[in-house]
Structure 1
Amino acid sequence: MSDILNPEMIRVPGTARDRDGAIREAGQILVDAGAATQGYIDAMFQREELVSTYMGNCLAIPHGTNEATGHVFRSALSVVKYEWPIDWDGNEVRFAVGVAGYEGGHLEVLSKIAIVFSREREVAKLIAAESAEELYRLLLSVNED
């Protein structure tokens, strides 16, 4: 299995200015990488309508609904870092991490991201990162088995 995250799937800075734009931006990276179809982005919006994907510590993890599995070709992450906070239903988000999980692989991926973002010191390092390469080095643990 290939790595779920590579430097080409990281954007610093992101261009979105609102929640919907951030979901679209994170989803489009997954589509462009060949991990999912355009329909998966629609499923990401459907998931957001069901329950917010805001996780705390400046992080949102937009991902599709369980019914969207046919739109995913491989497990992958997209990471978008915003210079200024995005309003995510009243919460400040600096990172939109798009998740495409193949054959149930999203739960492990979500867990790894949640662990990284649960540590305030690590979040401070991520916020201070100035390039996709720097963010990639800080997030390398998500590729470990």
Structure 2
Amino acid sequence: MEMEITFQDIELNMAFQTKEDSIRYAGRKLVERGYVVEPYIETMIQRDILTTTYIGNGVAIPHGTDEARDFILKSGIVVLQVPQGIEYNGECATVIFGIAGKNNTHMDILSQIAIVCSNEDNVKRITNAESKEEIIQILNGK
């Protein structure tokens, strides 16, 4: 199953001062793309406080808490490429996926991302990608 991701869902060459800045940016991007409403962003911060959203291999997947369901308009993913990396609880994330899953689809989205990103080469390719098209191809297993 291909991830529904468009050029508008991807930001290249991002840099952040703090992990919270990166989570807030991903949240604002989800709002801007019409996936969630504004209050979702705070639940993303809360989720990361409860348990880190860093999953390994340089990847973080900030997303809302279970209580955030009402703030999700439709399922969506945004991708932030952070070549210099940002610290997530002592680890360095170079790829950040902000996600929102409507009707419990977030587990499907998470597993799709985990499958692609379990291969360190894919994460390196996303981190070093020079175009949004390249990132979409990697995420879709090409």
TM-score tier (shorter): over 0.9
The TM-score with structure 1 as length reference comes to 0.91
Give me the whole-angstrom Cα distance separating, in 2, the residues matched to 1:131 and 1:12.
8
Give me the whole-angstrom Cα distance separating, in 1, the residues matched to 2:110 and 2:7.
18
Give me the whole-angstrom Cα distance separating, in 2, the residues matched to 1:37 and 1:16.
23
Q: CA RMSD in A?
A: 1.2
Q: Tell me, yes or no, if structure 1 residue 129 matches structure 2 residue 134.
A: no
Structure 1 stretches of at least 4 aligned residues deviating more than 2 Å after TM superposition: none
Give me the whole-angstrom Cα distance separating, in 2, the residues matched to 1:52 and 1:121.
23
Q: Which residue of 1 aligns with 2:12?
A: 12
Q: Which residue of 2 aligns with 1:70?
A: 70
Q: Residue 27 of structure 1 contacts residue 44 of structure 1 at CA under 8 Å; is this kept in 2?
A: yes
SS at match of 2:81: strand
Alpha-carbon deviations, 1:116-141, whole Å to 9, x = none? 00012212221221122221221135
* Ranges in structure 2 where 5+ consecutive residues have no aligned partner: none
Q: How many residues align?
A: 139
Q: Which residue of 2 aligns with 1:35?
A: 35
Q: Residue 37 of structure 1 contacts residue 72 of structure 1 at CA under 8 Å; is this kept in 2?
A: yes
Q: Residue 26 of structure 2 contacts residue 98 of structure 2 at CA under 8 Å; is this kept in 1?
A: yes
Q: Which residue of 1 aligns with 2:81?
A: 81
Alpha-carbon deviations, 1:23-65, whole Å to 9, x = none? 0111111100000011000100110111000000000000000
Q: Residue 35 of structure 1 contacts residue 100 of structure 1 at CA under 8 Å; is this kept in 2?
A: yes
Q: Tell me, yes or no, if structure 1 residue 21 matches structure 2 residue 21.
A: yes
SS at match of 1:81: strand
Give me the whole-angstrom Cα distance separating, in 2, the residues matched to 1:27 and 1:109.
16
* Ranges in structure 1 where 5+ consecutive residues have no aligned partner: none
Give me the whole-angstrom Cα distance separating, in 2, the residues matched to 1:124 and 1:42.
29
The TM-score with structure 2 as length reference comes to 0.93
Q: Residue 15 of structure 2 contacts residue 84 of structure 2 at CA under 8 Å; is this kept in 1?
A: no
Give me the whole-angstrom Cα distance separating, in 2, the residues matched to 1:83 and 1:120.
15
Aligned partner of 1:63: which letter?
H
Give percent identity, aligned residues only.
35
